[in-house]
Amino acid sequence: MQSVNRSNQNKMRLVSSIWLAACILGSLPYLVTGYADSPVSAFFLSVSSFTTTGASLGSGLDGGLLLYYTTCQWLGGLAILVFLSSLLPSVDSDSKSGLDSSFAGRSFSEVIKSREGNMLFLIYVSISLIMFIVMVCLGHVPLEALELTLTVCSTGGLGGTAFSAIDAGIKGTGAICIASMILSTISFTVYARLIRRDLAYVKKNTELRAYACLLVSSTLLICAANRISGVIPDIWQSFRAAGFHAVSFSSTTGLTNGNINSWPAFSKAVLCMLSFFGASSVSTGSGIKLIRIIIAMKAIRRSFYRRIHPRVVMSLRINGKAISDDTVDQVMSFIIHYALLFLAGCFVFSFSAPDLETAFFSSSSLINNLGSGFGAVGAECGYDFLGPFGKLFGCFLMLAGRLEIYALMLPFSRDGRK
Amino acid sequence: MVLNKKLVIKVLCAVMALVGFLMLIPCTVSLIYGETVSARAFAVCAVPMIAAGYAAFRLTKAPDTNALGLRDGFFIVASAWFVLSLLGSLPFMISGTIPNVFDAFFETASGFTTTGASILPGVEDLPKGMLFWRSFTHWVGGMGILVLTIAILPALGIGGQKIMRAETTGPSMDKMTFTFNDTARSLYLIYSAMTVIEVVLLLISGMDLYDSLVYTFGTVGTGGFATKNDGLAGYAVSSQIIIAVFMMLAGINFNLYYLCLNKKAGQALKDPELKCYLGITGGSTLFIMVMLIMSGQAAGIFDSFRLAYFQVTSILTTTGYSTFNFDLWPLPVKVVLMMLMFIGGCASSTGGGMKVIRVMMAFKIAWRGVQKRIHPSALAPVKIGGRIVPQDIMRSVSEFLILYLATLLFGTVLVSLEKVSLMTAFTSVLACFSNIGPGFEAVGPAMNFGFYSGATKLFLSVLMIAGRLELFTIFLMFTPAFWSKR
């Protein structure tokens, strides 16, 4: 058992140090070009790009820096796919529980060499390539098309640059972005199974179904709320805006188009909820992940049942497979941990935020790797108000959210050899 | 579903008659102050309720068995609280004080659940009898109406354990060693003693009898209804401190007082939850003191201590009194207060919220997750005060916590359908669900819930009752499994 423990610890140690190193080195260009005024700001930007958050410090990035920023996001997205789905699975069993065990328990090098590991990489690259080609065909300048592709496929976000500034008013850009964001939010194991022509699996995949329901219903609800409150009077326009933002928030991309800060509270609440648990496991999206919410909901339903029938033994089933109580415990403790970190973020950011709403959305937006939010962190505003300490804590939240908390908690944990 | 219908009816009748009797008290108060309209309203409600309750109680045949099934227990408690809130709101409607049915229901539910959220823009011109009834509901609801029923009506002869479990708060770590009727009675004894002592102290501090009674009900029940529009700001500092101390005492696990009475004070003082509760109180008071001094909102150290200590105990015990409009305080203070709203009092106290013990476990559960991730084979038991928490209690706590958060989120989304800001919607739900009363922004301490629509008021009232009964009792009523035959 000792060796298993050690290897888990080493894996996590490796993951967190690679991420930290990448983020520190990656912050250099912002400093050298003078875009960031301090090392902390540069580090914040760098973390924000590698964790696919897409948070900015206010002014939009221009030209080369934007390309660099989005490239880091794309690499971050790739790293997450490879790390979380091949390096971590034996550790991170819960996000994949009952979904696909094909990666579980294998070593890093094995997965990299294996078909599945390559498949994830190939799927990611091909989604990006297709999107890029379609964008160019639509008439985009290659640079813009590339930047948009990199940021959308990694569910990053443009970091302060307005979406309208980059879509160049070309029709269909929004639709392509929506499609790519959806594609990058669906669990990549679904594609792997599709390639293997395992349609039965895809059809009864709980997480996929839940995602579809969530997306459709929230789009309709937001559309209705906006229409009724009169923010967007035209129904078709309202529908498009609702769809775009529902997809963007659920994938934790955080692209925004137009002033969503003026939307009614209901739409904001739904979008915020989507950013917490809209994304699927083994995708580039971040947040709590749908599968965990499904497991938690089933556990709560079971506890209701148990109150009337205390002696009944029931196991939870996901995709027709029973999952162990240990896994359920892990999921529950993850959600509680997430909520505690979120509240801690609210507290830390309340020292520099102008109002309660901003403190709330700064925290939720950073821990979910969303990037944009409401209040003073709305679409094109940045996080410069956080101050050095707030920014560092923001980096911690972004990394914690991206690496599913545990890898980052390692330094605080005692060595388990007792 | 197989309910022991006769027994359920008998208990509900007993509750109805009891409420009728209780209404005679505010009726007397109204007569003393010469408010004939209110007195008549109370009498019109009380007499038929007592008569009907007694008659139905007598006419219902004795149940075939006194055995109380699990479902019976849940159903009795859930329905009793709805019946209670409905019956209790009748005097408000009949006297015309609060004519709207949703408003009256909200106000009464807020009273019985010891929330203290109000729809009234100003209370100073209300009849004294009505205000007395409003606060008296806090006192009745604080310890639980069914516990009261069983305590004074042992003739019902039903095993109260199940009801008790559904109505008292917090996860029970150890089985009660004393018999049930004893517990119910001694809990009420402690509760009443506390009430008397506080009334006497408040009288000494210079409050008149009426005000001291009203504020004592609000304090020991951790309710929060006041008789002045600006809360306690206008009263003497000594009164404020007395109220703050008693709020803190009401937020402590009442079983600990029982231990003290049995000369086991040492054991009571070692209680880990108590230590944590006092730690949270001290820590947040200190933090808010410093913030108030730094921001210049308080005149001096004593002044800031008074403001901070009062507000911390008031929010942590989910009472909701205020000596100052805390919505105007610096943002970090507001966030700390909001976190205290989540935490709430100790288990088996009159306070609401998640309860200190559950929050302690939340941290341990989160940390256990990390340990398990790094060492999957480790057992890593969760320990509180050196004792291992059984796995099933730990699981039910984490289910509770997540259901709590989910309800908050879901409730916020629903309430945000009103034309309010997101934070108003969120704090409205939090303030009602945790049984606090005031929130921030449009429902801050200087504001009220009157502007919401009837549907939202009803929803918030249900949330208050669900929060008071710790979620599961009410939510169970909405599950098909509860009503299915099996």
From chain A residues 246-275, the ones with a CB under 8 A of any chain B CB are 264-266, 268-270, 272-273
- Residues of chain A found within 8 Å of residue B365, distances taken between Cβ atoms: 332-333, 336
Query: Token pair 């008149």 is at which residue?
Result: B208
The pLDDT score that the predictor gives to residue B179 is: 52
pLDDT band at A390 (very low <50, low <70, confident <90, very high): very high
For residue B383, give the 3-state DSSP assignment: strand
The two structure tokens encoding residue B38: 């209110």
Q: Do A300 and B339 touch (CB under 8 A)?
A: no
Contact A74, A128 (CB under 8 A): yes
CA atoms within 13 A on the CB side of A379: 17
What is the Cα–Cα distance from B99 to A53, expressed in whole angstroms? 52
pLDDT score for B87: 93
Q: Which of residues 421-460 of B touch A (CB under 8 A)?
A: 421-426, 440-441
Interface of A with B in 212-251 (CB under 8 A): 225, 229
| Residue B388, strand partner residues | B383
Q: Which residue has the tokens 């990037």?
A: A371
Please tell me if residue B368 touches chain A, with a CB cutoff of 8 Å: yes
- B-chain residues within 8 Å CB-CB of A229? 419
Q: Is the pLDDT of residue A410 over 70?
A: no
Question: Which A residues, 62 through 91, put their C-beta within 8 Å of a C-beta on chain B?
Answer: 91
Per-residue pLDDT band at A272 (split at 50, 70, 90): very high
Q: What is the mean pLDDT of residues A305-309?
A: 84
- Whether residue B373 lies within 8 A of chain A, CB to CB, comes out as yes
pLDDT at A101 over 50: no
Question: Tokens 């009728």 identify what position?
Answer: B20
From residue A333, alpha-carbon distances to A277, A395, B407 in Å are: 16, 22, 18
Look at residues A383, A285, A386, A399 and name the one whose alpha carbon lies nearest to residue A58. Answer: A383
- Residue B252 maps to a domain: no
Q: Does residue A107 carry a pLDDT above 70?
A: no
Q: Is residue B454 part of a domain?
A: yes
Phi, psi values for residue B113, rounded to 5°: -85, 5
Within-domain flag for B365: yes
Query: Which of A229, A270, A307 lies closest to B413 in CB terms?
Result: A270
- Asked if residue B74 has pLDDT above 90, the reply is no
Within 8 A of A405 by CB-CB distance, chain B residues are 370
Range in A291-295, B187-191, B227-231, B375-379 with the lowest mean pLDDT: B375-379
Q: Which of B405, B432, B428, B401 lies closest to B417, judged by CA?
A: B428
Residue-wise burial string across A309-341, b where 16 or more C-beta atoms lie within 10 A, e elsewhere: eeeeeeebebbeeebeeebbbbbbbbbbbbbbb
pLDDT (mean) for A26-52: 91
The confidence score (pLDDT) of residue B162 equals 61
- Can you give the length of chain B in residues? 486
Q: How confident is the model at residue B231 (pLDDT cuts 50, 70, 90)?
A: confident
- Which residue from B152, B147, B126 is spatially nearest to B77, judged by alpha carbons? B147
Measured between CB atoms, does B396 come within 8 Å of chain A?
A: yes
CA angle B142, B147, B150 (to 5 degrees): 150
Q: State how far the alpha carbon of B84 is from the alpha carbons of B3, B8, B124, B159, in Å.
A: 20, 14, 26, 21
Per-residue pLDDT for A97 more than 80?
A: no
pLDDT in tens, A127-140: 999 999 999 998 88
Q: Do B425 and A374 touch (CB under 8 A)?
A: no
Q: How many CB atoms lie within 10 A of CB A238?
A: 19
- Give Cβ neighbours of residue A91 (< 8 Å, ≥ 6 apart): A8, A11, A12, A406, B373, B374, B376
Report CA A256 to chain centroid distance, whole Å.
Answer: 15
How many structural domains is chain B composed of? 1
Q: What are the CA-CA distances from residue A366 to residues A155, A289, B445 (Å)?
A: 13, 15, 31
- In terms of CA atoms, which chain B residue is nearest residue A266? B416
Cβ of A336 within 8 Å of Cβ of B398? The answer is yes
pLDDT digits 0-9 by tens, A344-355 = 999 999 999 888
Say what the pLDDT of residue A355 is: 87
For residue B107, being part of any structural domain is answered with: no
- Structural domain of residue B421, as residue ranges? 356-483
At residue B47, the pLDDT reads 93
Nearest of A395, A397, A346, A345 to residue A367 by alpha carbon = A397
A322 φ/ψ angles, rounded to the nearest 5 degrees: -75, 140
Interchain contact, B374 vs A268, CB within 8 Å: no
Residue of B nearest to A340 (CA): B363
Residues 296-335 of A with CB under 8 A from B: 296-297, 299-301, 303-305, 307-310, 325-326, 328-330, 332-335
- Whether the predicted pLDDT of A325 surpasses 80: yes
Answer whether A292's CB lies under 8 Å from A95's CB: yes
- Residue A7's pLDDT band, with cuts at 50, 70 and 90, is low
In this structure, the number of other CB atoms found within 10 A of the CB of residue B178 comes to: 11
- Give the model's pLDDT for residue B215: 94
- In angstroms, the separation between the Cα of residue A370 and the nearest Cα of chain B is 18
Between B466 and B155, residue with greater pLDDT: B466
pLDDT for position B436:
92
Looking at residue A91, what is its pLDDT? 35
Where does residue B84 rank: exposed (0-12), middle (13-18), buried (19+ CB within 10 A)?
buried
Q: Do A340 and B362 touch (CB under 8 A)?
A: yes
> What are the tens digits of pLDDT across the range B392-439?
888 889 999 999 999 999 999 999 998 888 999 999 999 999 999 899
- Residue B331 is assigned to a structural domain of this protein: no
pLDDT tens digit sequence for A145-191: 898 899 999 988 877 677 776 666 777 888 889 999 999 888 887 88
* Mean pLDDT, range B61-75, rounded to an integer: 74
Chain B residue numbers with beta carbons less than 8 Å from the beta carbon of A88 are: none
Name the closest residue on chain A to residue B394, using Cα atoms. Answer: A329
CB proximity B412 to A under 8 Å: yes
Local confidence band at B185 (pLDDT 50, 70, 90 cut-offs): confident
Least confident of A95-104, B246-255, B295-304: A95-104
Average pLDDT for A359-372: 90
What would the pLDDT profile of B93-122 be if each residue is shown by its tens digit? 999 999 999 999 999 999 999 999 999 988
Average pLDDT on A198-222 reads: 90
Bridging pattern class, strands B387-388 and B383-384:
antiparallel
pLDDT of residue A249: 92
Q: How far is CA B242 from the centre of its chain?
A: 20
Q: Residue B420: inside a domain, yes or no? A: yes
Q: Which of B77, B373, B375 to mutate to test the interface with A (most CBs of A within 10 A)?
A: B373
Instruction: Classify residue A378 by its DSSP letter.
Output: B
- Min Cα distance A322 → chain B (Å) is 18
Chain A, chain B: beta-carbon pairs less than 8 Å apart: 166
According to the model, what pLDDT value does residue B163 have? Answer: 63
Please give the DSSP secondary-structure letter assigned to residue A373: B
Residue among A229, A336, A406 whose CB faces B365 most closely: A336
Find the radius of gyration of the CA atoms of chain B: 22
**Average pLDDT value over all residues in chain B:** 87
The residue among A246 and A115 whose pLDDT is bigger is: A246
Q: Which of A303, A346, A416 sits opposite B399 (nearest CB)?
A: A303
Q: Identify how many contiguous H helices and E strands chain A contains and give both numbers.
A: 19, 2
The number of angstroms, rounded, from the C-alpha of A180 to the middle of its chain's C-alpha atoms is 14
pLDDT score, position B195: 95
Q: Which chain B residues are Cβ-neighbours of A410 within 8 angstroms? A: 370, 374
Please give the DSSP secondary-structure letter assigned to residue B61.
Answer: P
Determine, for residues B331 and A350 on separate chains, whether the beta-carbon distance falls below 8 Å. yes
Please give the average per-residue pLDDT across B173-179, as a whole number.
45
Query: What's the pLDDT score for residue A316?
Result: 85
| Cβ A207 vs Cβ A294: under 8 Å | yes
User: Is residue A297 over pLDDT 80?
Assistant: yes
Decide if pLDDT at A93 tops 60: no
d(CA B54, CA B66): 19
Residue with tokens 């009803």: B458
pLDDT at residue A87, as a whole number: 47
- Whether residue B300 is contained in a domain is answered as no
Would you say how long chain A is, in residues?
A: 418
Three-state helix/strand/coil letters over chain A: CHHHHHHHHHHHHHHHHHHHHHHHHHCHHHHHCCCCCCHHHHHHHHHHHHCCCCCCCCCCCCHHHHHHHHHHHHHHHHHHHHHHHHHCCCCCCHHHCCCCCCCCCCCHHHHHHCHHHHHHHHHHHHHHHHHHHHHHHHCCCHHHHHHHHHHHHCCCCCCCCCHHHHCCCCCCHHHHHHHHHHHHHCCHHHHHHHHCCCHHHHHCCHHHHHHHHHHHHHHHHHHHHHHHHCCCCCHHHHHHHHHHHHHHHHCCCCCCCCCHHHCCHHHHHHHHHHHHHCCCCCCCCCCCCHHHHHHHHHHHHHHHHHHHCCCCCCCEEECCEEECHHHHHHHHHHHHHHHHHHHHHHHHHCCCCCCHHHHHHHHHHHHCCCCCECHHHECCCCCHHHHHHHHHHHHHHHHHHHCCCHHHHHHHCCCCCC
Interface confidence, given as ipTM, is 0.91
